[in-house]
Amino acid sequence: MIKLTPVSMCFLLFTFIHILLTEGCGWHATYAESNYYRNLQQIEHLMTAQAKNVVLVGSSIGSRVHPNEFLSDLGFINLGLGGTVPVTALKILQREKITPQLLLVELSGATLAEPKKNDDLILRQQNKFNPLLWRYIPVTRPTSRPSSMLYSLLKIAKEPVHPMSWFEKYKLNANDHIISNAQDGSYSFSDEVKNSELVALVKSFKNQGSRILFVHLPTGRNRDIYSYDIAQQAAIYLASDIIDLDAISKNKNVIINYTDGLHLDRTSAILCSMWLAQAISNFLKQADPHLVRAF
C-alpha cells in the first residue's frame, strides 16, 4: 500500500525547487503554449505590477510586444489578449478600475471587430482570477506554469535574436512617427464607427484622464480578416494620434518576419518594442507637463 509521507515529502521538494527556480533565479515563462495561458500571463502582469502607466490593449498581434528592457522603465503593461478584440482588454481595465496615463489601443483588423466566444470566456474567467493566490502562492502563477516555462525555453532556443548592436542601427530619430490626427488631443470619434462599444470605452478612459494613442503594428497581409483596409478604416473612424510602427518598418526598409504569416517573430517583436518605447518617449517630450510628470 502506498505510504503518504514520502508522497508529501517529494511534493514539498518539487514545490521548493519550483519556487527556487521562479522566485530565486527569476526564471519565468515569457511565452505560453496556448493563447489562453498567454492571456493569463498578460493579466497576471496587469494585476501584480506596481507601475501601470502605459497599457497596450489589443489582440494577439499586440500581445507579441514584450514588456522588455526597452519598455520596462515606462511602467508598460501589455494587455494584448490572443483571440480577442481590444474591447475585451478595455473591459478588464475598467473592471479592475485601472486608469493608465497612456492607453495604447492596437490598430488592426481586430480593432473594429465584434467580441466573440473567446472574449466571453476571458471575461467570465476574469471573475475567477485570483491575484491574491498569484501573489502568495507563486507556483500558481501563469508565468510559473511548468509547461509554459518549458515552451518558453524551447521557443527562445528555436528563435534566436540578433545582438543588441543590430537593434541600435534602427533607432528612431527624436521626431519620428507620431501621426497626429489632432495635435491638441481634442480629437473626436466619428459616429460612423461600427463598434460603438469600443468608442464608448475609449471615451470613458479619455474622460478619466487617460491619453489615448493608437498603435499600428506590422502584420502579415495574408489573412483577410486582418486586412490593411480595415486598419485604415479604423484609423480614419477613430481619428486619434497613431504610432505607426508598420510605416516605420517600411521607411527604414527593415524586413519584418512573422511566425505564421500574421504575428511578429521574436526579433521583430523586440524591434517593435524598441520603436514603441522610443515613440512614447518622443511623444512625452511633446506632451503636456502634467502627463510627463506622471512618469
Partner 1 sequence: MLFNSVIFFFLFLPSVFFINYFVVQKWEISQILFLTISSLFFYGYTDISLVILLVFSLVVNGLSTHWLMHPDWSPFRRKLLFYFTLLINLGLLAFFKYAYLFGRLVLSPERHYALLDTLQSIPLPVGISFYTFQAISLIFDVYHRQTEGLENLYAQRNPLKFQLYIWFYIAFFPQLVAGPIVKGHEFMNQIAKKHIHNIDWGHAVKYIIIGYFLKSVIADNLNEVTLTLQSENMPKLAKIDLVLLLYGYSFQIFADFAGYSYIAIGLGRLFGYKFPINFNYPYLSKSISEFWRRWHISLSSWLKEYLYFSLGGNRKGALRTYVNLMITMFLGGLWHGAAWSYALWGAAHGILLAGERLLTGKKINAFFWLNHNISSIAQVFYTFNLVSVLWLLFKLSDFRDVIHYFMSLWENPWYRDSGNLFIVLVYGTPVVIYHAIKYKQIHLDSKGQCRLIGSERIEAICLSLMLWLIVSNIGLPGSFIYFQF
- Is residue 156 part of the contact set for partner 1 (CB under 8 A)? no
- Is residue 204 part of the contact set for partner 1 (CB under 8 A)? no
Q: Provide the minimum distance between the beta carbon of 283 and partner 1 in the complex, in angstroms, as a whole number.
A: 35
Q: Provide the minimum distance between the beta carbon of 188 and partner 1 in the complex, in angstroms, as a whole number.
A: 37
Q: Provide the minimum distance between the beta carbon of 137 and partner 1 in the complex, in angstroms, as a whole number.
A: 8
In the complex with partner 1, the residue whose CB is nearer, 15 or 196, is 15
- Is residue 1 part of the contact set for partner 1 (CB under 8 A)? yes
- Is residue 166 part of the contact set for partner 1 (CB under 8 A)? no
Q: Provide the minimum distance between the beta carbon of 33 and partner 1 in the complex, in angstroms, as a whole number.
A: 5
- Is residue 179 part of the contact set for partner 1 (CB under 8 A)? no
Q: Cα–Cα distance between 182 and 165 in angstroms, integer?
A: 36
Q: Where are the alpha helices (DSSP H) in the chain?
A: 4-19, 35-48, 60-63, 86-95, 117-126, 131-136, 146-158, 164-168, 196-207, 228-238, 245-251, 266-286, 289-293
Nearest to 56 by CA among 257, 217, 221: 217
Select the residue interacting with partner 1 from 8, 181, 183, 190 (CB under 8 A).
8
- Is residue 125 part of the contact set for partner 1 (CB under 8 A)? yes
Q: Given the DSSP bridges, would you call strands 178-179 and 242-244 parallel, antiparallel or unpaired?
A: antiparallel
Write out the three cell numbers for 223.
489573412
- Is residue 13 part of the contact set for partner 1 (CB under 8 A)? yes
Instruction: Write the DSSP assignment of 83-151 as a string of letters.
Output: TS-HHHHHHHHHHTT---SEEEEE-STTTTPPP-HHHHHHHHHHTT--HHHHHH-GGGSGGG-HHHHHH
By rule CB under 8 A, what count of residues binds partner 1?
29
Binding site for partner 1 (CB under 8 A): 1-4, 6-11, 13-15, 18, 33-34, 36, 125, 139-140, 144-147, 150-151, 154, 259-260
